[in-house]
């Protein structure tokens, strides 16, 4: 509400007669209420940033381990070493020399796409997806593990497992200078 103050400010004897000045006073209570209502409205209606997480399904611990036979030619093993280096091979361990690779579209992603395409062409069964085993060494970082899961997701690999790395595999990483 606005108010006008029309008081003259007292009588002055023997001086000039001045005109009365009106001072205004504005009540801002309604404006403050409106501001808080608007702030509350926008806080309540704004969507907060949702965390981005990838679903990862782990086996049920209450059931005994059930191993299904999988052809070795459909299996790709990936070792995560030190300094963002990756080694991978298809088939049985020791069957071929591991390929040293890195992350990115020209690195492991390209290898995943090519190997998956090759496996789908050679195996004409309805269940012919490539299976990737990810094995992280002690010197691999959490960032490397997350990057590997991202690469699998980008390449469209739906079947993968996280497996413990063995001593002979660590020895191979040391031999190649990636441990």
pTM confidence score: 0.64
Q: What is the pLDDT of residue 9?
A: 55
Of 8-12, 37-41, 89-93, 151-155, the range with the lowest mean pLDDT is 8-12
Q: Which CATH number fits domain 72-175: 3.90.600.10, 3.40.140.10, 3.30.70.330, 3.30.420.270?
A: 3.30.420.270
Torsion region of 58: left, alpha or beta (phi above 0 gives left; psi -120 to 50 gives alpha): beta
pLDDT, tens digit, for every residue of 85-133? 999 999 888 788 899 998 888 999 999 999 989 888 887 766 778 899 9
pLDDT digits (tens, 9 = 90+) for 29-77: 899 999 999 999 998 888 777 777 767 666 677 877 776 777 788 899 9
| φ and ψ of 100, to 5 deg | -90, 130
**pLDDT at residue number 127:** 73
Could you state, in order of their start, the residue ranges of all structural domains in the chain? 72-175
Please count the other Cβ atoms lying within 10 Å of the Cβ belonging to residue 149.
16
Query: In this predicted structure, what is the pLDDT of residue 121?
Result: 85
Between residues 1 and 151, which one has the greater pLDDT? 151
Inter-residue contact 135 to 78 (CB < 8 Å) = yes
In which band, very low, low, confident or very high, does the pLDDT at 14 lie, cut at 50, 70 and 90? low
**Other CB atoms within 10 Å distance of the CB of residue 110:** 14
């Amino acid at each position: 509400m606005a108010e006008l103050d029309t008081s003259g400010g007292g009588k002055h004897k023997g001086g000039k007669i001045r005109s009365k000045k009106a001072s205004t006073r504005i009540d801002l209570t309604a404006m403050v209420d409106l501001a808080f209502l608007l702030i509350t409205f926008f806080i309540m209606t704004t969507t907060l940033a949702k965390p981005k997480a990838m679903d990862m399904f782990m086996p049920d611990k209450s059931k005994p381990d059930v191993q299904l036979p999988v052809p070795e030619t459909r299996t790709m093993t990936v070792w995560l070493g030190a300094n963002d280096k990756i080694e991978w091979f298809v088939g049985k361990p020791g069957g071929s020399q591991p390929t040293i690779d890195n992350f990115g579209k020209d690195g492991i992603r390209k290898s995943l796409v090519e190997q998956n395409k090759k496996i789908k062409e050679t195996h004409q069964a309805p269940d012919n997806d490539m299976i990737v085993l990810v094995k992280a060494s002690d010197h691999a970082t959490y960032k490397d593990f997350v990057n590997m899961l991202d690469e699998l997701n980008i390449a469209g690999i739906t079947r993968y497992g996280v497996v413990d790395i063995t001593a002979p595999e660590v020895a191979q990483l040391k031999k190649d200078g990636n441990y």
